Structure 1
Amino acid sequence: MKDAPSTDAVSYGLARPDQIATLTGLEQLQAMLRGELPAPTICRALDFILTEAGDGWAEFRGTPSGDMLNPMGLVHGGWVMTLLDSALGCAVHTTLAPGETYVSLDTDVKFVKPITPATGEVTVTARIQTRGRQVGTSEGRAVDAQGRILALGTSSCLVRQAPEA
């Protein structure tokens, strides 16, 4: 695994349709990793980033902070859910042909261990389970630096043609 890039050194935004029209989903993510396309702004807001992507899988890393706490002093479950949703969706994203896009149909998350700022960096990896003509499914896990499972997730995504620009 590579060291996670600093989220301070990443450009954030939205790729223009002409930048991605001829790229597969995997090529889009790899261009993002090389800094040729911007990372989504949600990554800046919640301090996580895409760190690797391959055929049928994606990895994100993030570090929870005191800005993400719920009233019980734990990192809000929505933070790790967002990392899982991102990795699960990107696992499907790697299977897209040029001109295809997707939307999440559902995401299911099981919380296994509490996350606090002391947990440190969290790595979320997701892999494709199935990819049909219209639906892709994926499964993933969030782990701490010691490899302990923090949360597990699954997702279903609807694959469709990208709207005309």
Structure 2
Amino acid sequence: MTTIGNHVEDKSAKRVGELTEVFQRGLDENLGVGASLGIRLESAGNGVTRYYLDPNPATINAMFTVHGGVIATLMDTAMGSAVFTKLGDGVAYTTLELKVNFIRSVTLDGSRLTCDATAVHVGRRTATAEGRVTDAAGKLIAHGSTTILVLGGDQ
């Protein structure tokens, strides 16, 4: 592999470490979506993440199904994190646009929801990513995309 390739892998590994540390800090300090909704980071790599959620009473709506906003939050977290793993030091991000297609509802039947996200494009000012949420049986629950505003630093 070339020196440039190693640099990309080193940068990604550093960002994955930062992501893991920040997410764990939120859990330890009872902050953020991990603490409030039960969203957890399962894995992260260069431009990819996997988060999961075990639906619980705090995640349901008036129809006793998992609220669409909770599923969207799971996707937003995973897709933003996938982009984060590809950003340079001192670079942050925020969601500009979020598009979610809901395929089926989710009840409180103990089925874990998993979101796999992939960064599609990471530029100097904007980035895009895609995500898919599936249940424990592998059925598609939702899919979507995001546009991210890249904040600060030089890519």
Identify the TM-score tier after normalising by the shorter chain: 0.7 to 0.9
Amino acid of the structure 2 residue aligned with 1:62: L
SS at match of 2:66: coil
Q: Check conservation: 2:64, 2:108, Cα contact below 8 A.
A: no
Work out whether 1:77 is the aligned partner of 2:68.
yes
CA distance in 1, matches of 2:59, 2:38: 10
Counterpart mapping for 1:99-114 below 5 A = 99-114=90-105
Moved more, 145-154 or 65-74: 65-74
CA distance in 2, matches of 1:78, 1:128: 21
Q: Which residue of 2 aligns with 1:28?
A: 18
Q: 1:134 aligns with which of 106, 125, 139?
A: 125
SS at match of 2:147: strand
Work out whether 1:97 is the aligned partner of 2:97.
no
Cα offsets for 1:119-138 (capped at 9, x unmatched): 51111110011111111100
CA distance in 2, matches of 1:114, 1:148: 11
TM-score of the two chains, using structure 1 as the length reference: 0.76
SS at match of 2:100: strand
Cα offsets for 1:129-149 (capped at 9, x unmatched): 111111110000000111111
Q: Check conservation: 2:80, 2:95, Cα contact below 8 A.
A: yes
User: Any gaps of 5 or more consecutive residues in structure 2?
Assistant: 1-12
- Same amino acid, percent of matched pairs: 31
Cα offsets for 1:77-129 (capped at 9, x unmatched): 11111100000100111111111111110111010111111151111110011
Q: Which residue of 2 aligns with 1:58?
A: 49
Would you tell me which structure has more helix in proportion to its own residues?
2
User: Any gaps of 5 or more consecutive residues in structure 1?
Assistant: 1-22
Tell me the C-alpha RMSD between the 2 structures. Answer: 1.9
Q: 1:148 aligns with which of 139, 146, 152?
A: 139
SS at match of 1:105: strand
CA distance in 2, matches of 1:67, 1:102: 27
Pairwise CA distance, 1:65: 1.5
SS at match of 1:157: strand
Equivalent residue pairs, number? 138
TM-score of the two chains, using structure 2 as the length reference: 0.81
Amino acid of the structure 2 residue aligned with 1:29: L
Counterpart mapping for 1:2-21 below 5 A = none
Amino acid of the structure 2 residue aligned with 1:108: K
SS at match of 2:42: strand
Gap change, CA 1:50 and 1:132, over 3 Å in 2:
same
